[in-house]
Amino acid sequence: AQSVTQPDARVTVSEGASLQLRCKYSYSGTPYLFWYVQYPRQGLQLLLKYYSGDPVVQGVNGFEAEFSKSNSSFHLRKASVHWSDSAVYFCVLRRTGNYKYVFGAGTRLKVIA
């Protein structure tokens, strides 16, 4: 069975600071990995996805994520956060062979002035 762990339920950072949200996955095969964001009163939206190749993938709004097979991780990063980045971020895994997605519990990001 596969699973996704986001160890930090809540993260608070100052505007302009850098950000890393952690994600660990458990899956014996080759995973397809995603980050989705849920803004207040909006539906979930895709930030980025990773299939293979370069372990660093770029997403929208300056977000990037780095895949590490040895660490079973897929951490999300941003160099300088803005107050509008305040939202809940979900790490998501899909196994090969089907289109069933497994979500982590989410990390609630608060950006303060």
By CB under 8 A, tell whether 52 contacts another protein.
no
Comparing CA positions, the residue from 76, 106, 77 lying closest to residue 90 is 106
Q: What is the 3-state composition of the chain as percent helix, strand, coil, each rounded to the nearest 5?
A: 5, 50, 45
Closer of 3 and 84 to another protein (Cβ): 3
Site for another protein in 17-46 (CB under 8 A): 32, 34, 36, 41-46
By CB under 8 A, tell whether 100 contacts another protein.
yes
Residue position matching structure tokens 């952690």: 22
Closer of 77 and 103 to another protein (Cβ): 103
* Least Å from the CB of residue 31 to another protein: 12
Residue position matching structure tokens 């803004």: 39
